[in-house]
Structures are given as C-alpha cells and as structure tokens.
Amino acid sequence: MRKLLYRSALGIMVLLFNSHLFAQDEDLLKLLGEDKPKKERIKYAFKSPRVINGHSMEFLNPGTMDFRILHRFGELNKGYKNFFGLDQASMRMGFDFGILQNLMAGIGRSTYKKEVDAYIKYAPIRQSKGPWSSPVTFALVSGITLDGLPWADPTRKNFYTSRLAYYFQAIIGRKFSEQFSLQISPTMVHKNLVQLQTDVNNIYAIGVGGRIKLSKRIAFTWDYSHVLIGMPDSGYYNPLSVGFDIETGGHVFQLHFSNSTGMNERAFITETTGNWGKGEVRFGFNLSRVFQIKKKKAEKK
C-alpha cells in the first residue's frame, strides 16, 4: 500500500514537472480553445456594383453614395475622320446609394433618348463561408426607365405611360476565388410601347458577367447579354462589353469596348445596334467615385 502511494505520488510529480516543462514552449493562444468558425460574408466579388453595363452581385456599402459618370464614344470603324469615334459621346450620369448591406437604389439619366432610369436592388442571399453559408449571392433588381424624347408620332393619341419600360433581373453570382468571379443574370424587359407592330413587349435575356483579377488593382471584366426571346429580326445584336477595371484609390475606372450605346437595361439589352464582326464597337469608360455620406457608427461594446 505504501509502495503504491509512493509510486503514485512520484508519478504525479513527474507528470507535473513534465507538463511544466512543456509549458515553456506551448502555444499560449491554444489555451483559449479553437475559435468557433463564424459565418463570414464573401466580399468584393466585383469592384463596383456594375460589371460594365449590367448590375453586378456586389452592393455599395451602407451609407455610401456612388457618383458614376459613364461615357460611350462613337464607333471605332468610323476611322480617323471621327477620331475613331471619340468625336461623339453618349453619357449617363448616375447616383447610386447603399442603404443596407444588401439593399441599394440608384437613379440616372442618359443622353441616349434623354432617358431617366431608376432601380432598386436587393439580395436576400449573400455568398458567405462558415456554418449555414451560401455558395452564391442571389440578388434581385427591379428598374424603370422613362423615355424623354418628343413623341415620334404626335398625331396619334399618346399616353404618358408609353414612355415607360420596366426591367426585372435576378443575379446569381459567385466569387470563386480572389481572382475569378462569375455571375449569370436572367432578365426580363417590358416595354409599354414598342416601335413596330412586329416587335414584342416582353423581351427575355440572360446575362453572363465576370471578372478575372490581373493584379491587386487591375481586373479584366466582361459583360454579355443574350436575348432569348424578343430579338427583332434584323439590325439588333446581343450586347457584349469587355474591359478593364482600374482602381486608383478613391476612383474606379472601367475602360472597355462595347457594341452598345445604351447604358440602362432597356437600352443595352433591347437596342444594341453595333455588330462586333463589323467593328461597330465603341470605346467607353465608367468613372465611379464613392463618397461616404453617413459615417459608420463605431461599434460599442
């Protein structure tokens, strides 16, 4: 019995001494236990809430305003006489507001058709990692456009609502890696009034937008919409834009080539007349400057 007690006491001492020796070199932070994995939203899939023309899966931060100036020049194939299109320009000026982390709204006006457009964008699901996470962002956009041109035919009875068109879009996007983001966006555009009797009022399209980051501040982007139903028989093409996002601190420059002139969903999905094959491509740029209009409240413990 005594021997047993003696041995166990010795055993305890050895154990204690050993654990004490280990303690010198241990990872102290391990003592607190492993951090529980938290749900974390995947951010910055795109540099801006627009891929090029179309909406991206990204949102503005709450409390910020994005002042966007968009330019589309003339067609490149017009040659030196028009300085490869730079003599003409079409623009859209817009203000976008981040309201919540997953809610934003914006308004803009384009010189093309003197059109005013407004939209609201909401994401019920954001891409995240950790427990209960979603692999994709799912966002919904609803917008309205108002044509500002004089009536094409003033002799007939014209309704104010004939100036309006609507669009509804779902965006399913995923940031696959730091370098690569991809999204698809089924879209429906409804025009209250169409030009020809043969034109349809509802146009259905699917958009594919993506980004490949080339460096910390430069990314290659593309934005394509394929009209599935409602494309007029001739003279219209699917809009394709390719370009680069360049971030310089406060600004994001999006430089690109596109066959569309329009800068809202109605205009670029349904009224793109340029043909890439014939070089009817325009140089364009989007300039985005984000302002913090409401300061973040410092979290209080």
Partner 1 sequence: MKNLFVMTIALLVAMTGMSQKFYTKNGQINFDATSPASPEKIEGINRSATCVVDTKSGNMQFAALMKGFAFERALMEEHFNENYVESDKYPKAEFKGEIKNSDKVDFTKDGNYTVKIKGKLTMHGESNDVETEAKISIQNGKIKATADLNVLLSDYKVSIPGLVADKVSKTVKISVSCLLEPLKS
Footprint of partner 1 (CB under 8 A): 2, 5-6, 9, 12-13, 16, 20, 23-24, 27-29, 31-32, 40, 43-44, 61-64, 98, 178, 216-217, 247-250, 290, 292, 295-296, 298-299, 301
State the nearest-atom distance from the C-beta of 235 to partner 1, in Å. 42
Q: Which is nearer to partner 1, 218 or 229 (CB)?
A: 218
**Closest to 284 (Cα-Cα) out of 91, 24, 66:** 91
Burial class (CB in 10 A: 0-12, 13-18, 19+), 173: buried
Burial class (CB in 10 A: 0-12, 13-18, 19+), 293: exposed
Q: Which is nearer to partner 1, 6 or 83 (CB)?
A: 6
Identity of residue 163: R
State the nearest-atom distance from the C-beta of 154 to partner 1, in Å. 48
**Closest to 268 (Cα-Cα) out of 159, 97, 35, 110:** 110
State the nearest-atom distance from the C-beta of 34 to partner 1, in Å. 11
Reduced to 3 states, what is the DSSP secondary structure of residue 217? coil
Q: Which is nearer to partner 1, 2 or 156 (CB)?
A: 2
Q: Which is nearer to partner 1, 31 or 196 (CB)?
A: 31
**Closest to 52 (Cα-Cα) out of 235, 295, 272:** 272
Burial class (CB in 10 A: 0-12, 13-18, 19+), 205: buried
State the nearest-atom distance from the C-beta of 99 to partner 1, in Å. 13
State the nearest-atom distance from the C-beta of 32 to partner 1, in Å. 6
State the nearest-atom distance from the C-beta of 258 to partner 1, in Å. 26
Q: Which is nearer to partner 1, 251 or 278 (CB)?
A: 251
Q: Which is nearer to partner 1, 9 or 229 (CB)?
A: 9
Q: Which is nearer to partner 1, 34 or 153 (CB)?
A: 34
User: What DSSP letter does each residue of 64-108 carry, written as one string?
Assistant: EEEEEEEEEEEEGGG-GGGGGGTT-EEEEEEEEEEEETTEEEEEE
State the nearest-atom distance from the C-beta of 289 to partner 1, in Å. 10
CA–CA dist 255, 264 (Å, integer):
17
